[in-house]
Structure 1
Amino acid sequence: MKILTAEEIEAHHYHTLSGGVKGAVAGVIISGLIFKLAPLRFPAFRPAKMPWSLKTAMFITPPTLLTSICAEEASTAFEQQMYGSNATTNAAVEDHRRWKQLPWSEKLIEGVSSNKYKIIVAAWAASLYGSWKLVDRDPIMTKTQKAVQARMYAQTVTVVLLLGSIGLSMYEEKQHPDARRLEESRRWEKVLERAEEEEANAKKAGKRTNEDRVNAKIFK
């Protein structure tokens, strides 16, 4: 049985909480889409006429479900990263320790950089919906013209976000010019460490007697 250190417990808690927060955000978005778009597709579905207890239950179900699922998945992924067959000894703990030492500005930049494509896709979808709601107020344009206009607005926002992501990458490269080299060096260190562990285990297994090998087998 492995005794967990305080850092391992803290890192596991952080990964689990992060997964739960992501699931909660996704669940709230899904609930909002259900209450907003479902009545348009199914006119019989009218949340405004439902009792508040039923509306509350319907609204909190997706966030609650996704929070538990994403938190469990994040916890399992952390355990696999720490204790899986291909895991290095303290990779997850070292990454969490490095993250804790970063200032809030660097955490924000790194978080945005790590999720920039998700942010771009989400912003594109939100801008497409928002621009459609804005253009749809025009009583003169046809539906086709409104769709084209809304798409142009959304594409403009997407181009701006892509340029921003390029600028962010250039800023990170300027702030940390040796980041790629250090990451490559760290990756090779992990490979060598894993090879040394496998070699040590092989030597240890080679020193066992036949009686030890027989006793180590599990017969069902």
Structure 2
Amino acid sequence: MKIATEEELAGHYRATVRGAIEGTLGALAVSVPASYYMHRRWAAYRALPIQLKTMGVIMVVAPLFAIQAERRGVQFDQSTWTGAGMRELEREERAQQSRWNMLGQREKLMDWAMRNQYKVILGSWATSMAIAGALVMRNKHQTMSQKVVQARMWAQGLTIGVIIAAGIATHSQRKEAQEHRQVDHTWQNMVEEFQAEEKMAQAKIPHMLPASSA
């Protein structure tokens, strides 16, 4: 197992913070102009309380903040691997790419959805919230307070639906993993790589020693 040094831990922290800043700025660059545009474009959106508008911005910022921070952290971890560890990562990437190329279009879509299930669920929830909010605000027979109450009810219902969907997706993923469980031979590959490196290093030693005098 590779033990991280203090310098690597500090580098990982800096990479994670960088990703968090990138995700936050990117999300704000999208959500704030979008909120401003909707405020100028639709009277129903202008009538919304500032708390709901702020929640809409947070719903965009929070996921991108977490995703980009994790992404930068993983990238830094991969950049620190060398030798046998790097070759093992490359081998796994080639195996995954080969498996992906053998899948059909429907299987690729299902595989992508399973690997990004929480992004899909969150995106579906946000889209449903936007549609529900638009439909509620278009009702001319309700007061603004009634519309806010109805929007909250929709939010609660959709949140429960998201929790149920996440549970079903997690259960399906675990069931799929159990049915197609594969023995992890990564440690064997790593041992073989380390042994090969050791043999190469030992083979170079005689050539590095000065020739003995006759």
TM-score by length of 2: 0.52
1:160/1:39 Cα in 2 relative to 1: closer, same or farther (>3 Å)? closer
For 1:210 and 1:165, locate their aligned partners in 2 and report how far apart those are by CA, in whole Å: 60
Partner in structure 2 of residue 203 of structure 1: 199
Among candidates 34, 37, 60, match of residue 35 of structure 2 = 37
For 1:133 and 1:208, locate their aligned partners in 2 and report how far apart those are by CA, in whole Å: 72
For 2:159 and 2:100, locate their aligned partners in 1 and report how far apart those are by CA, in whole Å: 29
Higher alpha-carbon deviation: 131-140 or 205-214: 205-214
Trace 1:166-185 onto structure 2 (pairs within 5 A): 166-168=167-169, 177-179=178-180, 181-182=181-182, 185=183
1:37/1:166 Cα in 2 relative to 1: closer, same or farther (>3 Å)? same
1:116 equivalenced with 2:112 (yes/no): no
For 1:142 and 1:103, locate their aligned partners in 2 and report how far apart those are by CA, in whole Å: 51
Trace 1:68-87 onto structure 2 (pairs within 5 A): 80=78, 84-85=81-82, 86-87=85-86
For 2:196 and 2:176, locate their aligned partners in 1 and report how far apart those are by CA, in whole Å: 40
1:99/1:107 contact within 8 Å kept: yes
Partner in structure 1 of residue 129 of structure 2: 128
Aligned residue pair count: 150
For residues 56-94 of structure 1, the C-alpha deviation after alignment (integer angstroms, 9 at most, x for no partner) is xxxxxxxxxxxxxx9xx89x95xx58x942231521111
For 1:104 and 1:154, locate their aligned partners in 2 and report how far apart those are by CA, in whole Å: 34
For 2:129 and 2:194, locate their aligned partners in 1 and report how far apart those are by CA, in whole Å: 53
For residues 83-121 of structure 1, the C-alpha deviation after alignment (integer angstroms, 9 at most, x for no partner) is 942231521111011111122222222211111111222
For 1:108 and 1:96, locate their aligned partners in 2 and report how far apart those are by CA, in whole Å: 15
For 1:126 and 1:213, locate their aligned partners in 2 and report how far apart those are by CA, in whole Å: 69
TM-score by length of 1: 0.51
- Describe the SS at the equivalent of 2:204: coil
Report % sequence identity.
24
AA in 1 matched with 2:157:
T
Trace 1:23-172 onto structure 2 (pairs within 5 A): 33=31, 35-39=33-37, 80=78, 84-85=81-82, 86-87=85-86, 88=88, 89-139=90-140, 141-168=142-169
- Describe the SS at the equivalent of 1:208: helix
- Taking only aligned residues, the RMSD between alpha carbons, in angstroms, comes to 4.2
User: Where do 5+ consecutive residues of structure 1 fail to align?
Assistant: 1-26, 44-69, 215-220
- Structure showing greater relative contact order (alpha-carbon pairs closer than 8 Å, 6 or more residues apart): 2
